[in-house]
Amino acid sequence: MKKSIFISTILFAGSLLTGCSSEKHVVNNSSSKVSSAAKYSSYLTKGHSNKINLHLKYKGFKLASTPIEYRGTWYRANPYDKKATKLVIANHTINGAATYHQVDPNLKLDRHSEKQNKEYAGNAIAINVDNNLLKTRSFFDTVGLVYKTGQFKGHPCLFISYGTNPKAINGAVFKDKGIALKY
């Protein structure tokens, strides 16, 4: 008897869960802000034609220049694509996002703060150059992408690392589109 009650309870709970619509969840999420990580990754995968306002001020940050050795148009491809993806690094932008350097070491950003999300909104990312590595992230993320200049089979490239281990290499971008498609 106890076994049949237990099974009935599980089946009833399962029917409630399958009967729940995820539509309500989607509607609630669509009205909330897109995460800063999602915004940041979209800047890295597609160029933006929006005019960038380099005069925006963010408390605790100042406009930063990217080092010359990282600047230019770079290309990345994977074995399954026949087209290369562009990465454009300019003096003060990376794929349409303005670059800033954190100048206030005591500044604590909270991605759950509605006030800070409004204050730090915009096409902007934080960069840091340390030990010949260009580290990039959105304002609210603790990890981002790391670029390191190098050579791959005699071709100049930027090695890409993401996650918590900047020594791990997860990909490379090349100055030549043909080389990117080849490797």
Number of domains in the chain: 1
Is the separation of the CB atoms in 134 and 67 below 8 Å?
yes
Distances (CA, A) of 11 to 3, 20, 22, 59: 12, 14, 20, 54
Dist. CA 171–CA 183, nearest whole Å: 10
Contacts of 52 (CB under 8 A, 6+ apart): 92, 93, 96, 97, 98, 123
Question: Does some domain include residue 106?
Answer: yes
Question: Does some domain include residue 17?
Answer: no
Dist. CA 19–CA 144, nearest whole Å: 38
Question: Does some domain include residue 152?
Answer: yes
Question: Does some domain include residue 43?
Answer: yes
Question: Does some domain include residue 86?
Answer: yes
Q: pLDDT digits over 110-124, tens only? A: 999 999 999 998 889
Question: Does some domain include residue 123?
Answer: yes
Q: pLDDT digits over 131-170, tens only? A: 889 999 999 988 889 999 999 999 999 999 987 787 789 9
Q: Please, what is the end-to-end C-alpha distance for the chain in angstroms?
A: 65
**Bridge partners of 157?**
150, 174
Question: Does some domain include residue 28?
Answer: no
- pTM as predicted: 0.69
The domain of 71 spans 33-182
